[in-house]
Every structure is written in structure tokens, then in C-alpha cells.
Amino acid sequence: MGDMKRLTVMLLVALAVGALLAACRPGPVADPGAGPDESGDASGAVIGHQPVGEELVWVEGRTGEAGVYVKKFGDHRLVLVAMGERPTAGYGVVVDGVAVSEDGWVIDVRFVEPGPGDIVAQVITYPYEVVRIADDGRGVTVRDVTGEEPVELAVTVE
């Protein structure tokens, strides 16, 4: 009977650790009304792009500092919007829209923070969002639409 109790405790610990890891992963806050995900949108942009390989190394190297970064990878560019290091879970970057015209790409983002009294995991996070766009030579503008008026953010092109 002792083995059964030990197995039950181990299973509960594994489930708790799994739930904690899932809740504390870096990345965007889920927002079903925020727009398309990996499937892309009419502009051809892919919101929520999951970088791999060289792209992932680049993204992970920049998420610790808040900013907007753009880099070319083959026939496309990645736009990384990072909030930098945050003291708890509950922070996130949400892409509200992507538009392209002759004038260039415009990406609207919102920054999400935990509200007063919100119960959040006490873990350091690095919230960010990645948008994949065509390498078509057009400029990239990223706007913070969190407040009443959009604010254009500085973009670092690498």
C-alpha cells in the first residue's frame, strides 16, 4: 500500500509542476478577439509565429530588453515586440492588427499588465510576440494602441 501512496504523490507533484510550467511560459497573453494566429491574415503576415532554429536564437537573445526589433531571415522578416523582464506572470503583448500598403507595414500592439488584486504566479517572465512578414523592402511601423491615442514605437532594424 505504501507504493500506491508514493505513486499518487508523485503523480500529483508532476501535474502541479506541469500546470505551473504551462501557466508561466513566456509569450503572448491569450486573447481570442485579438485577431488571427499562425494562420495569418489578409496581408500575409503571420501573427504568433513560432520561431525555430536561427530565428529562435535571435528572439531569445532579445526578449530580456523591452523594444521592437526587425530582422531578415531568408524571404521574410520577423518583427519582435518584447516587454523585457517582468516580475510576475500576467504581462503580455497582444497584436491587434497588421496592415500593409505602399507606405509600409503597420502593426498595432497592446501591452497587458496584471490588474490590482490579480493573483499571478511569482515568477520572472519575458513577454513578447513575434510577427512574420514578407521581406518586400517596405518599412515597418509598430504602434502601441494600449491607450486612447496610438503611440509609434522605436524600431531597431538588424
Helix, strand or coil, per DSSP, at residue 147? coil
What percent of the chain has a predicted confidence (pLDDT) above 90? Answer: 69
Of the two residues 3 and 38, the one the predictor is more confident about is 3
How many degrees, rounded to 5, is the angle at CA 97 between CA 121 and CA 62? 50
pLDDT value of residue 105 = 96
Say if residue 86's pLDDT is above 90: yes
Domain range annotation of the chain = 2-157
pLDDT at 3 over 50: yes
Average pLDDT over residues 86-105: 94
Cα–Cα distance measured from residue 24 to residue 135, given in angstroms and rounded to the nearest whole number: 33
Q: Read off the pLDDT of each residue in 74-84 and give the average, rounded to a whole number.
A: 96
Can you tell me whether residue 142 is helix, strand or coil? Answer: strand
Work out the pLDDT band at 34, boundaries 50, 70, 90: very low
Residue 42 has pLDDT above 80, yes or no: no
Please report the pLDDT score of residue 4 as a whole number: 72
Q: Average pLDDT of the chain?
A: 84
pTM of the shown model: 0.73
